[in-house]
Amino acid sequence: MTVTPIHPQVRIGHVHLKVADLVRAQAFYRDVLGFEVTQRYGTGAVFLSAGGYHHHIGLNTWESAGGKPPPAGTTGLFHLAILYPTRAALADALQRLLAAKIPLDGASDHGVSEALYLRDPDENGVELYWDRPEAEWPRTADGGLAMHTRELDLDALLRAK
């Protein structure tokens, strides 16, 4: 069977998360990360975006009000990834996290990108990252990607702001 690749311009447009406490989750995505509320559905859901898009993140308590995060060892979302347009924008995100005293799970330089890893108030994994220009991506001798995971210098990132 021949598999035809998906159209190269297809993108993942948004994520919709079940949360335990809508006010708490909204405060994280709006007040810490800086997304803007675009719409509310009563007291059960809120939609947020960057730049006026209809929504990048949906939060709801329709099936999860007061719920607990899934236990370790179960399937589900590993993390959602939020792509920042520049290194300076990622530095701003780091500064916001530090000001809000949000702990990082990790910070990595992958060669193709730099990433911050953390958890939202419902213990969902969140990656904040920026992609280096493709011309700067590390390559093998035959032109393949040579991604790696190295510790990200957070002080150097903050100086990029």
Domain that holds residue 30: 13-64
Could you tell me if 46 and 102 lie in one domain? no
Could you tell me if 85 and 154 lie in one domain? yes
Q: Could you tell me if 14 and 56 are in contact, meaning their C-beta atoms sit under 8 angstroms apart?
A: yes
Domain boundary among 40, 64, 88: 64
Could you tell me if 57 and 94 lie in one domain? no
Q: What is the pTM of this model?
A: 0.94
Residue 157 has pLDDT above 90, yes or no: yes
Please tell me the distance from the alpha carbon of residue 59 to that of residue 64, in angstroms, as a whole number. Answer: 10
Residue 161 has pLDDT above 90, yes or no: no
Q: Could you tell me if 83 and 114 are in contact, meaning their C-beta atoms sit under 8 angstroms apart?
A: no
Give 56-98 pLDDT, tens digit per residue: 999 999 999 999 999 989 999 999 999 999 999 999 999 999 9
Count the domains in the chain. Answer: 2
Which residue, 39, 42, 155, 27, is CA-closest to 91?
155
Give 10-58 pLDDT, tens digit per residue: 998 999 999 999 999 999 999 999 999 999 999 999 999 999 999 999 9
Which residue, 115, 99, 102, 112, is CA-closest to 153?
115
Q: What are phi and psi of 160, to 5 degrees?
A: -75, -10
Give 106-128 pLDDT, tens digit per residue: 999 999 999 999 999 999 999 99
Please tell me the distance from the alpha carbon of residue 82 to that of residue 59, in angstroms, as a whole number. Answer: 15
